[in-house]
Copies of this chain bind each other. A is one copy, B any other.
Amino acid sequence: MHEIPRSQEGVHFTVDSSSTSYGLPTVAYKKSNVTLNSTNDYDVVVVGAGYTGLIAARNVSRSGKRVLLVEGRDRIGGRTWTVDLWGNKFEMGGEWVHWAQPNVWAELTDYGLTKPDDFLQTSGSAEPEFCSMSMPNSEGSKEYSTSFLDKASLVQSLDRTTKAFFDVDGQGGATIFPFPYTPLANLEAIEKYDSLTVGDRINQLSGFTKEELDFLFSNLVVFGNIPPMEAGFLNILHYYALAGYDWDRLMQASDRYKLKIGHSGFANLVFADIAGDAVFSDPIKAVTHQPGSVVTTLQSGATIRSKHVICTLPLHCLSEVDFQPPLPTPFSKVRHPNFGGKVHIHVDAKIPAWCGFADSDAPVDALLTDRYSSREGTYLAGFPGGNPWRQGRNVVGDPSEFLQATFKSCYPSKWSGKPTDMLWHDWNTDPFSRGQWGAWGAGQISTSFKSLTEAAYVSREIVLANADWAHGWTGFVDGAVEEGKRAASQVLSYLKG
């Protein structure tokens, strides 16, 4: 078996030696398959090799058009990639998929990846034996108590609290997103509820205990890792609508099924279907629209002339590229508030399937078991919350302190098991993401999000596409696929007409 190549990305902290190493093995690693000359000419340049770019490049190339894919990283997948280590696969970003997500599911159907055997289930979200909730002992305290919760009553409680939470319109929320893949179809309702935060809405609920509402909040917060008084009610109602107004189904669609071959395995299948050229480790510097063509300039100095550019960079990275003429304002100014993180932690004991939630001041909003390791231990996934101060900062900070604080606040004290290793990708400091997936705060759907969706097809020559403003599963892999498909169709229609 070939050794798995190593990306420069990803961080590994070893607890014993208190050492941090950078760069992790992944099948997503790629080298350029073309050497750019002084003059390069393509029908379409696709910027960014995340799912949006991969799907767009594949769809354009299979119509026989000459496509160049350019990527700043040394790998495909963007904010979704898989580390292969210790005989296990770790999803460093996007992870779970489901048949309620039509665009990615249709792709999985094409690639023969829809059978039960094609998936692994995250144990702590699929069928936890234990759930726990960690709360500070007093207001502002750094001392937390973690208590186990009765699973059956939790499920019932969450069924009632989520129904109440979403039912702002007496119709379970169903009047607001009547066409969930056209999120602004009922703009009047969107404008009416847009300013409502998740925290506001929870405060409006009555007839529930504080514990029930805390638990509701903990479940809601993972959809964007955004603090309660900033997180948008509509952002999460949109997902709820996409999942058919069923909380249980939304959870199943969001954190249960992951691909056995890993996202990078799947992305490799799409990549292999691109009949075109690809350049890696060469970020773009400028995109200049000239009469009759677009010139893309890379950091290496290479320039590429093409009829069209599909730029799939995340929203937060667009302002670093010199677009001439400049992009419409929203694309350089708008920021979504998702600056949380994700870590994989190995503990040296086999602990039962478990899902732990914590209040939003704890180092992680949620910590849950993923699966057992081959060394008699357990892999956990943890989600540092996206508190605003985390923008531009490493979400982990000092890894030793982070682990100590995480375990002190969230890990049930009666269980054995100490952390031995932690893996993560710091999306906030990553120049190619500058934050996590696009999730929207209160007041942003009717303004920022709306303006992005309206202005993304800048011209016939320049099309912007990214899951950050996907119409359906915004921020999800499904949204990335949707955006890639739509951008390719649009550009192909330009090339035809």
Q: A37 to nearest B CB, angstroms?
A: 26
Residue-by-residue, is A84-114 near B (CB-CB < 8 Å gives 1, otherwise 0)? 0000000000000001111101110111101
Whether B485 contacts A115 by the Cβ 8 Å rule is no
A100–B100 touching, CB < 8 Å: yes
Distance between Cα atoms of A489 and B111 in the complex (Å): 7
Q: Is A397 an interface residue (CB 8 A)?
A: no
- The interface bits of chain A over 455-484 (1 if a CB of B lies within 8 angstroms of the residue's CB, else 0) are 000000000000000011000000000100
Check A99 against B99 for contact (C-beta < 8 Å). no
Q: How far is the CB of A167 from chain B (nearest CB, A)?
A: 15
A59's closest neighbor in chain B, by CB?
A: B110
Oligomer copy total: 2
Known: A99-B102, A100-B244, A244-B249. A116 touches B63 (CB 8 A): no
Given A109-B486, A111-B489, A244-B100, A116–B62 Cβ distance below 8 Å? no
Contact with B along A217-249 (1 / 0, CB 8 A): 000000000000000000000000001111001
Query: In the complex, what distance in Å separates the CA atom of A485 from the CA atom of B246?
Result: 29
Secondary structure at the A interface, as helix, strand, loop or mixed, is loop
Indicate if the CB atoms of B485 and A180 lie closer than 8 Å: no
A178 within 8 A of B: yes
Cα distance A112–B64 when bound, in Å?
21
Contact yes or no, A485 B116, CB < 8 A: no
**Is A144 interfacial (CB 8 A cutoff)?**
no
Q: Is the CB of B103 within 8 A of A109?
A: yes
Minimal beta-carbon separation of A170 from chain B (angstroms): 13
Chain B residues whose CB sits within 8 angstroms of the CB of A243 once the complex forms: 244
Complex CA distance for A109 and B103, rounded to whole angstroms: 8
A130 contacts partner chain B, Cβ-Cβ < 8 Å: no
| Contact yes or no, A182 B246, CB < 8 A | no
Tell yes or no: A193 within 8 A of B by CB. Answer: no
* Distance in angstroms between the alpha carbons of A182 and B114 in the assembled complex: 7
Contacts of A486 in B (CB 8 A): 109-110, 112
* A164 CB to nearest B CB, Å: 18
Contact mask for chain A residues 242-259; partner B; CB cutoff 8 A; 1 contact, 0 none: 011110010000000000
In the bound assembly, the distance between CA atoms of A472 and B110 in angstroms comes to 14
User: In the assembled complex, which residues on chain B have CB atoms less than 8 Å from the CB atom of A149?
Assistant: none
Other-chain contact of A115, B112, B182, B490 (Cβ < 8 Å): B182
Asked, given contacts A63-B62, A246-B244, whether A185 binds B105 with beta carbons under 8 Å apart, the answer is no
**Which residues of A, 180-206, contact B by the 8 Å Cβ criterion?**
180-182, 185
Q: How far is the CA of A99 from the CA of B107 in the complex (A)?
A: 15
Whole-angstrom distance between the Cβ of A99 and the nearest chain B Cβ: 6
13 contacts between A and B (CB under 8 A): A62-B63, A102-B103, A102-B105, A103-B109, A106-B106, A109-B482, A110-B486, A112-B486, A114-B181, A115-B182, A116-B178, A116-B185, A245-B246
